[in-house]
Chains A and B, each alone.
Chain A
Amino acid sequence: MPSFDPKKITKIHQHLHSHLPSDPALRVKALETILVEKGLVNSENIDRWVEVYADDIGPKRGAHVVARAWTDPAFKARLLADGSKAVGEMGYAGPASGHLKAVENTADSHNVVVCTLCSCYPFAILGMAPNWYKTAAYRSRVVREPRAVLAEFGVELSEDTAVHVWDSTAELRYLVIPERPAGTDGMTVDELAKLVTRNSMIGTDRDLKTGGV
């Protein structure tokens, strides 16, 4: 009499279809197929977007903007007055930088950025948002207890340092200009850009090191 082992059958079935993508992957594949058929997207643009924003841009553009602001007071004034226009000057205009506000750290004030609703982020200049930025824990806690959250990231602020929490929206996103580290007077813009960390432009890093990123 033939035996029937459900576990074994399941294993064989899974093995036979092991190259079958996961359920969400199939749903995305279906969406892309339908949207391409309708002419609403094209596959090349999707692939290019992933390549550019996930791999190429990273936070490099933002770091260059900050380094220029450190070395060019007139540019810094324009950046603080109209962030979108200033990054546009550098050729960094793009999706999610259309309405950009730059906020500057000083010796007695610190800025930190969040999107309490979802995960709005200036990815055109900072690349993809880090994973912690998308968590409910960060989105809810940084508003209520910014000093405690910053301490988790290693940013210890004295009581007399003011903390400003900026809540991003689809229409308005933020870039933190960290303080320029001491002892960097002779450095070029490119050298300075290497000192700027992604987290410092979100506000979860403060004292930049002069020895490299």
Chain B
Amino acid sequence: MQADTPIIPLPRLDEEPTFNEAWQAQVLAIAQNLIATGAIAADDWSNALGAALCELQVDAKSDTVENYYQAALNTLETLLQANCGISKDVMDQCKSDWTRAYETTPHGQPVKLQ
């Protein structure tokens, strides 16, 4: 990993919000709830997240908070497939259902799955 030359000084990141978008907080919340109930083991989560970070944070330029949460989301999907028997097809189908729900719900009305 070529992370020796950070693109910005580390302390400057302190000025930034921990979460840029709500889904980033939700990924961690889901993961920690699953760890708390024992559906996912804490060390499985940290090992898998570490591997996913290695994959995404390949150089200083890609060492971003966005990539961190992207890695966390990829990790959660991978562990749910491996540990909870939730297939990628089921995830993709549910995502398509939500996409359709958003696309077909008029502005101002609550978006719900049919």
Contact = CB atoms under 8 A, between A and B. Distances in A.
Interface residues of A, number: 55
B68 A119 contact: yes
A153 B6 CA distance: 14
B interface majority secondary structure:
helix
Contacts of A171: 42-43
A149 B6 CA distance: 11
A204 B12 CA distance: 13
Interface string B1-43: 1011010011101101011011101111110111111010011
Contacts, number: 174
A169 B46 contact: yes
B53 A118 contact: yes
A199 B39 CA distance: 32
A136 B57 contact: yes
A2 to B, nearest CB: 24
A128 B32 CA distance: 12
Interface in A133-181: 134-138, 140-141, 149, 152-154, 169-171
Given A31-B91, A154-B11, A140 B3 contact: yes
B4 A141 contact: yes
Contact of A141 (B3, B39, B99): B3
A137 B67 CA distance: 13
A130 interface: yes
Contacts of A24: 21, 23, 69-70, 73
Nearest to A23: B95
A45 B10 contact: no
Interface residues of B, number: 61
Interface string B86-110: 1000111011011100110001000
Contact of A118 (B11, B14, B49, B97): B49
Contacts of B46: 115, 117-118, 120, 169-170
B11 A136 contact: no
Contacts of B47: 117, 170
A176 to B, nearest CB: 17
Nearest to B95: A30
B60 interface: yes
Interface stretch (A14-22, A70-78, A104-112): A14-22
Interface in A21-62: 21-22, 24-35, 38, 40-41, 45-47, 49-50, 53-54
B3 A49 contact: no
Contacts of A4: none
A192 to B, nearest CB: 22
Interface of A: 17, 19-22, 24-35, 38, 40-41, 45-47, 49-50, 53-54, 95-96, 115, 117-120, 128-132, 134-138, 140-141, 149, 152-154, 169-171, 199, 204
Given A31-B77, A152-B11, 6 more contacts: A27-B23, A35-B84, A53-B28, A130-B18, A132-B14, A140-B4
